[in-house]
A and B are shown apart, each in its own frame.
Chain A
Amino acid sequence: MVVSPELIMGGLVSGIIIGSLYGLAALGLSIIWGVLKVVNLSHGALIALSMYLVYTLSVMYGVPLPVALLASILTGFLLGIAAYYLFVHRVLGGPELASLLSTFGFGLIILGILELAFGGIARTIPVSQHVIEVGHAPIMLVQIIGAIIAVAVAVGAYLLLYRTWFGRAVRAVVMNAEASALMGVNVVRVLALSFTLGVLFAVTAGSLLSLAYSFTPETGTKYELYSFTIVVLGGLGNPLGSLVGGIILGIAEQLTSVIVSGSWGPLVAFLILLVMLIVRPTGLFAKL
């Protein structure tokens, strides 16, 4: 079949929309990794958890959707603080394996609870099925809204890190924790808030994604894997890097499916990752 420019347009637009959401999910991983030097292996589980929170509130208890979304994000915020002190704080500065295992364990607990409570059956949240067609590609309205929120959050995160006192403190801690402590920065609080921020981004992405697609407890794993790729692509800790990285991955995936075949998607995505690692291992954007 001949690939018309119309189809390519559709792939491009859908890639940007989907990619922004990938980017938002990756942002959570990126901040935590960049600031705390902790690879948060509970990232995917947290994304899944937020999906089920929205589901439980809106479908099972009939809470209006916007309220359910906000409640899910707020729960993510509280959980982030709790998780930091329970699972992360004690292993900071220890061997890398310690933080890997502790966040991995936290993730397993979440997944275990989700499996017990909901089982492996796919769930879906009934929202408007309205689509806008771009070059034959049906793009859901909820996806577009999600993408706009994702971009807004990424820009907001950028401003927070580069235009506020808190952001300066975060960057100071990244450069030299001891020195910033001597300058009066409350390092523990900065770390805790950065971790919470990361969790917040993950649950925001999860809550938005839950509206577009059905999900199971394992769904988060896919986004976790993508997040790793995006973080390498975009550069650690930089919010705009994550967003751009996500969009690049989204476009690559969708255009591959338009031009060649969908089954080539993962190949192209990881080829980009490989080339990036060879050519520019620090990522597209400078480190935090």
Chain B
Amino acid sequence: MASRAILWIAIAVVVIAIIGGLAWYLSRETAQETAQTPQALQPTGEKEGCVIKIGFTTSLTGKLQKESAEQLNGIKLWADEVNSKGGIKLPDGRKCTVKLVYYDDESKSARVQELYQKLITDDKVDYLISPYSSGLTAAAAAVTDGYHKVMIATGAASDSIFTKGYQYVYQLYTPASRYMTSAVDLLLELDQSNKKVALLFENSKFAKSVASATKAYLEEKGFQIVYEDYYPPGTTDFATYIAKISASGATALLGGGHFQDGFNLVKQLYSANIKSIKYVAILVAPPEPAFAELGDAAVGVIGPSQWEPGVKYSPEAAKKLGIEWYGPTVDEFVKAYKSKYGKTPGYHAAGGYAAGLVLQYVIEKAGLDTEKAKEILDNLDIMTFWGRIKFYKEADKHGLQIGHSMVLVQWQKTDGKLTKVIVYPEAAAEAKAVYPIPWSK
């Protein structure tokens, strides 16, 4: 029937229009930025009006979209601030503005590799920032290092990227191997007699690498590991794990993996009400604002975070350590971010800004000379709003972050209100840690 066919065509047109509209909406940001690139022809900016091109990919679509968007916000804020001051001053006296060249990597490694190739060979960018996540950063590094392009890796905490012999990749995040060690240090400070630890991590690459490093550290510090298990990704019910932890007589629990499993674990742990457990530190979930939905179950739970808006890094703290302070203070960064985006920055956003900031420092000292930039980065030891930044410079783990450390947050109840406070290290802390965890009383 002809009328039927027309109906189908009409439906098809509407569907295509909707999909097209959505695609346009999602991609317009990238289009805006990249559409301008042909104008900035001389990429290395030999003459006046020079422009420094910073290239990266970001996950505008796909599963990493949320975290990636925040990281991108941080990078954009940095670029805007630099350009509003007329750019970065190079060692030869020229002042160059910054141009961000970026594409949507769809959260996929294959896209990342194609696009970093394109950024280097077609767009001829001067410096690189990594995509978000360890997986995508590892994919990018495999391409970029061969071209001898400096890449600041942010949003990537994996250690293994830095054991592959890359010479031009530098990590901003505290690596997985040191994710939980400060939680162990805090426990040592709080209670010398709490020595029976249960480890319950997710059976995923990231959580397992945290677990094995934590285990080694615990053993070194004389702890007794009374329970150790790894739950499959996507686990929602922890009843039998909790039963075994309870039977093991553990007095502290370290574990977690992603947000949801950490959340459910704490929820069930709280309702199980195991009196013997006095200290609980969980990966990833506690720093997230959504963790507050647990209510009373969240109180007392410790979680490591790369960065929090309340951290107390300051020029004075840098002076105490005898290192240089660089860039805005924590408050200045938080204020600028809030006024641009209307919300408080999380660590993804801070990591994005910090990546730009490190590049700015390097460009001021080395200009566009990659080898000189590498030398500066190898010997870098500064403090910024992000914390201390120092890279491992020997070949075996070149570029690994060794200066920055995790801060520990804890959910506390003040005047009946649930708040997240920084409790460790002392230099960054807002309050003293509550110990033991309230439910064990």
A residues at B contact (CB < 8 Å): 1, 4, 6-7, 10-11, 14, 18, 119-124, 126, 129-131, 133, 135-140, 212-216, 219, 222, 254-255, 257-258, 261-263, 265-266
Q: Does B232 contact A (CB under 8 A)?
A: yes
Supply 8 further A-B pairs (C-beta < 8 A) apart from A129-B267, A138-B272: A7-B243, A7-B244, A120-B66, A124-B293, A131-B271, A138-B243, A214-B260, A265-B231
Task: Tell me the residues in window 367-398 of chain B with beta carbons closer than 8 Å to chain A beta carbons.
Answer: none
List chain B residues, Cβ under 8 A from A257.
Answer: 229, 231, 240-241, 244
B271-A14 in contact (CB<8A)? no
Return A211 CB to nearest CB of chain B, in Å. Answer: 12
Name the contact of B271 in the complex, choosing from A11, A130, A266 (C-beta under 8 A). A130
Return A269 CB to nearest CB of chain B, in Å. Answer: 10
List chain A residues, Cβ under 8 A from B63.
Answer: 120
B267-A11 in contact (CB<8A)? no
Select from chain A the residue with minimum beta-carbon distance to B268. Answer: A138
Main secondary structure of the interface of A (DSSP, over half): mixed
B residues at A contact (CB < 8 Å): 63, 65-66, 203, 226-227, 229-232, 234-237, 239-244, 246-248, 259-260, 263-264, 267-268, 270-273, 288, 290, 293-295, 297
Select from chain B the residue with minimum beta-carbon distance to A135. Answer: B243
Q: How far is the CA of A122 from the CA of B288 in the complex (A)?
A: 11
> What are 18 A-B contacts defined by CB distance under 8 Å?
A7-B243, A7-B247, A10-B240, A14-B237, A14-B240, A120-B65, A137-B239, A138-B239, A138-B272, A214-B264, A257-B240, A257-B244, A258-B243, A261-B230, A262-B231, A262-B235, A262-B241, A263-B232
B237-A261 in contact (CB<8A)? no
List chain B residues, Cβ under 8 A from A139.
Answer: 239
Return A268 CB to nearest CB of chain B, in Å. Answer: 11
Q: How far is the CA of A214 from the CA of B261 in the complex (A)?
A: 9
List chain A residues, Cβ under 8 A from B297.
Answer: 129
B271-A129 in contact (CB<8A)? yes
Select from chain A the residue with minimum beta-carbon distance to B260. Answer: A122
Return B114 CB to nearest CB of chain A, in Å. Answer: 25
List chain A residues, Cβ under 8 A from B246.
Answer: 136
Name the contact of A138 in the complex, choosing from B230, B242, B264, B294 (C-beta under 8 A). B242
Task: Output the residue of B232, B237, B244, B290 with the most chain A CB within 10 A.
Answer: B237
A262-B243 in contact (CB<8A)? no
B247-A216 in contact (CB<8A)? no
A1-B237 in contact (CB<8A)? no
List chain A residues, Cβ under 8 A from B248.
Answer: 1
List chain A residues, Cβ under 8 A from B273.
Answer: 131, 138
A216-B239 in contact (CB<8A)? no
